[in-house]
């Protein structure tokens, strides 16, 4: 496998989440916000416990739920209301994704000096360019998720799990790459896919159990009920979503470990493509950082 063992990346992801109370707190707030947004489609009904456990799942697992949200909205509301809800969902998801990734990445030096409040303030201040880039990326991942859902209907449950795991394998790094590198969607996809390909099947073996368990939890699909969730159900939903964030943190930790090598290899591939085409497109650029490791939390300094 390319880079250090996956076990070390998993340990780094666990430490990044469990040692940072701000991550746990923000996870709970994000789940509640998305639950309220989803429940707005239910017309006085609330989302049941099953889908709530996957609110912060990695795409395409979360994308499948989002697509069900869109279909339910189309059936219940007029076009403008549906459009407003879709735009609201995409913007909330984009902001939540950026903030979570920044919180699980190593803090910038100024964040360490300023404590957790400074870290949260810097993580929540998202530049419009990054905000829109993440929104566009999530729309692309949702479109890919709809294609995957078609496979699940054709191939059955086992084929569906395999298709979801395959998409997560190739595109799972892309949200982290979008936040750390702040490039366009195409360079982000190139780097994300390159990182996945260099891992071989080791990363897929790591992701398969996660996908299988998540699909079991999400199996009932988007459902509404008259009775709100009990405290126990809320507790289980929080634990499940913290596990999703740990997987996200593992991929973020993994990306930092292989970042320089992936950028170098992709730059060499871009040079090769340029030489064969006889043109000079832009090369994948390296972000200037203040230290050897990137500090994405500090990239949006005031």
Binned at pLDDT 50, 70 and 90, residue 19 comes out as: confident
Binned at pLDDT 50, 70 and 90, residue 289 comes out as: very low
Distance of CA 171 to the CA centre of its chain: 10
Largest CA distance in the chain: 64
Lowest mean pLDDT among 15-19, 63-67, 194-198, 280-284: 280-284
Interatomic CA distance for residues 279 and 222, integer angstroms: 49
Q: What mean pLDDT comes out for the span 95-114?
A: 85
Nearest Cα to Cα of residue 104 among 261, 242, 292 = 242
> Domain map of the chain by residue range?
6-280
Which one-letter DSSP state was computed for residue 175? Answer: H
pLDDT tens digits for range 87-96: 999 999 999 9
Nearest Cα to Cα of residue 172 among 194, 192, 144 = 192
Interatomic CA distance for residues 24 and 284, integer angstroms: 34
- Rg from Cα positions in the chain: 19
Among 12-16, 225-229, 266-270, 290-294, the range of highest mean pLDDT: 12-16
Interatomic CA distance for residues 54 and 59, integer angstroms: 10
pLDDT tens digits for range 49-60: 888 998 999 987
Q: What mean pLDDT comes out for the span 161-172?
A: 84
């Amino acid at each position: 496998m390319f880079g250090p063992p996956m076990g070390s990346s998993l340990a780094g992801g666990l430490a990044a989440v469990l040692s940072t109370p701000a991550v746990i707190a923000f996870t709970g707030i994000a789940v509640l916000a998305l639950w309220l947004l989803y429940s707005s489609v239910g017309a006085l009904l609330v989302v049941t416990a099953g889908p709530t456990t996957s609110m912060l799942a990695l795409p395409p697992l979360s994308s499948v739920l989002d697509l069900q949200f869109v279909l339910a909205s189309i059936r219940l509301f007029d076009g403008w209301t549906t459009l407003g809800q879709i735009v609201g969902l995409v913007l909330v998801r984009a902001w939540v994704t950026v903030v979570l990734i920044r919180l699980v990445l190593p803090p910038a030096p100024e964040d360490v000096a300023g404590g957790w409040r400074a870290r949260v303030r810097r993580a929540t201040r998202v530049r419009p360019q990054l905000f829109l880039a993440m929104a566009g990326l999530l729309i692309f991942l949702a479109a890919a998720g709809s294609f995957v859902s078609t496979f699940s209907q054709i191939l059955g449950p086992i084929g569906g799990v395999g298709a979801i795991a395959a998409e997560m394998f190739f595109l799972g790094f892309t949200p982290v790459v979008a936040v750390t590198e702040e490039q366009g969607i195409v360079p982000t996809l190139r780097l994300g896919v390159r990182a996945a390909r260099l891992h071989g099947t080791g990363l897929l073996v790591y992701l398969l159990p996660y996908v299988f368990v998540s699909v079991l939890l999400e199996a009932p699909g988007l459902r509404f009920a008259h009775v709100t969730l009990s405290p126990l159900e809320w507790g289980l939903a929080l634990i499940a979503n913290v596990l999703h964030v740990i997987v996200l943190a593992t991929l973020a930790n993994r990306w930092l470990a292989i970042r320089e090598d992936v950028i170098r290899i992709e730059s060499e591939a871009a040079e090769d493509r340029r030489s064969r085409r006889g043109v000079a497109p832009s090369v994948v650029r390296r972000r200037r950082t203040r230290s050897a490791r990137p500090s994405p939390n500090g990239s949006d300094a005031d």
